[in-house]
Structure 1
Amino acid sequence: MGKVRSFVEQNKTFVALVGGAVLGLIVGLIVGWVLWPVEWTSSTPANLHSKYQSDYAMWVASNYQQQGGVAWAEEKLGAPYWKKGQLTDLLEGLAAEQTGEAAAQLRALSVELGASESGEVSEPEAGAPEA
């Protein structure tokens, strides 16, 4: 005990700095984890874990044609928040893992989103009025 006391008396500034840093870290952890933890709101699919991204992308791919087309899919997937090509890469990767109709829907959405990313304009459907 005498050695500790003599060390503290000789190094008061150092001990105060280390003690303050440790105390500040403890208070910061309590505030950040207990009192005011981070609450995610308005997150985009680009911020989700890859498993949930996959599930969500498959849901969008299976519903986008009935719900409103590519514009609906872009909105639901938060297309502007993905890095260029990342969303189409995800969809192509999922399509490679799937079979049948699910794979076809994923590929179709990937192609349509890829066209909208590059600025290509798709041809209007037959009978649709031109702008």
Structure 2
Amino acid sequence: MSMEDMLNKLKENGIKVTPQRQEVLRVFLENEKHYSAEEILKKVKNTFSNISLDTIYRTLSLFKGLGLINEVDFADGCRRFEINNVDGHHHHLVCLKCGRAEEVRFCPEDCLLKVQKQNPDFKVSGHTFKIFGYCPNCQ
């Protein structure tokens, strides 16, 4: 998703496009990685020194509600966010030592099919898949 696409989505939903919101989007677009709210705050403070962590959390909640970003949980107690790319969902490899996460660009569809076959009355609305281990630097 481009900056223009994201700004249009805000406008279409009657959301004011503020410079601070644009800066948060820029952070996600400049390096498509997984950011905590604190990491985003640190980056945005370079441009807007008076911005608060509360403002960052409200902005992240707004963007998440509009489908611009996703919240990801790497089971380390830290909420992280990533841009919601339109090229399809993905899963993650997560290092248990340094916390680094890499995207896995395939989906365990055979597992999903088995779940649906064993539970035909259960309607699956989404899923996540994480593999935990140690990256080359931490092994």
TM-score between both structures, scaled by the size of structure 1: 0.33
Instruction: Determine which structure has the larger helix proportion and give its number.
Output: 1
Instruction: Determine which structure has the larger strand proportion and give its number.
Output: 2
TM-score between both structures, scaled by the size of structure 2: 0.32
Q: Report which of the two structures shows the higher radius of gyration computed on alpha carbons.
A: 1
